[in-house]
Amino acid sequence: MARQPERWKGLIMYGLLFFWIIGVVYLAVVGLLLYRVKPKSGKALVLIAAILIPNADHWYYQYELAQYCKNEAGFKVHQQVSHRQGFANLVGWYRDDFAAKNIAVGYVEWPVAEPNGTGAMVTTYWRSDRLPDGSSSKPYQIANYSAPYELVRLQIDTGQFIESTYQIKRRSDNYVIANFSWRSYYGSWFPRAVLGRGDLVAGCGEGGQMLTRQQWVKKDSGAYDDGLPSLSKFINQTFTAN
């Protein structure tokens, strides 16, 4: 999944180059101070300051992530609804067999945008019903959504964090009956500038626990980006009433 629109890639590269230059200058200044300062105690203070200054924000961001994971992340089901109901899936994915294998709801509806003969994009609406044996019906076209609920996704990218939230909303009044939130952390300026690190550092699991990069990327961790297993659990926990 792209973390930034295509048009921002050039600016991002220039920004990374700028921070890399700042990082190199910073290391050069530290080296010069270590050369100029003669007492061992002074050199020790320079090294301590050199470590603390670039990492202070990193430690703060990790603390902020831990607090978010503890208090905000994970499944928050405010109102359970009947598993016989269905929802309109507006998050941009669908597989014909997904409902049959993963989501125990009455039906799923979703949009499909395709070009018509003139090149203009036309949106059609499709639905798949859950059959008595637990399988899903073949998708068929409908005039418009009829489901009383919808699944949407919100995302905020601050550079250091990506915060994502899936919401199940009641379509009649936009009331959020459940949300599944997590945050992923991509490091502070210093490791990204000097060490070239811009990958995931840590994030929140589906239960609100803080996960390291190694834990996050495990397929069964329930935390990887767009993780359908976590999403299906979230939906099934919401659509559980009779």
Whether the CB-CB separation of 212 and 184 falls below 8 Å is answered with: no
- pLDDT tens for each residue of 144-156: 999 999 999 999 8
φ, ψ of residue 128 to 5 degrees: the values are -130, 130
Give the bridge partners for 204, in sequence order.
210
**Average of per-residue pLDDT values in the chain:** 78
What is this structure's pTM? 0.69
| Dihedral angle of Cα 164, 102, 141, 92, to the nearest 10 degrees | 20
Q: What is the average per-residue pLDDT within 157-169?
A: 88
Q: Is 44 or 227 the better-scoring residue by pLDDT?
A: 44
Whether the per-residue pLDDT at 5 is higher than 60: the answer is no
Single-letter amino acid code for the residue at 6: E
> Other CB atoms closer than 10 Å to residue 233's CB: what's the count?
17
Residues 6+ apart with CB under 8 A from 103: 232, 235, 236, 239
Q: Which long-range contacts (CB under 8 A, 24 or more apart) does 157-161 make?
A: 157/3, 157/4, 159/186, 160/61, 160/185, 160/186, 160/187, 160/188, 161/61, 161/65, 161/185, 161/186
Helices and strands (H, E) in the chain, number of each type: 6, 10
Task: Identify the band that residue 213 occupies on the pLDDT scale cut at 50, 70 and 90.
Answer: confident
Q: Which residues does 39 contact at the CB level (< 8 Å), separation at least 6?
A: none
**Range with lowest mean pLDDT among 53-67, 96-110, 151-165:** 96-110
Quick one: average pLDDT of 20-46? 73
Task: Give the DSSP letter of residue 119.
Answer: S
Cα(180)–Cα(63) distance, integer angstroms:
21
Beta bridge partners of 157: 162
DSSP at 48? H
User: Which of 24-28, 77-81, 106-110, 181-185 bottoms out in mean pLDDT, i.e. has the lowest?
Assistant: 24-28
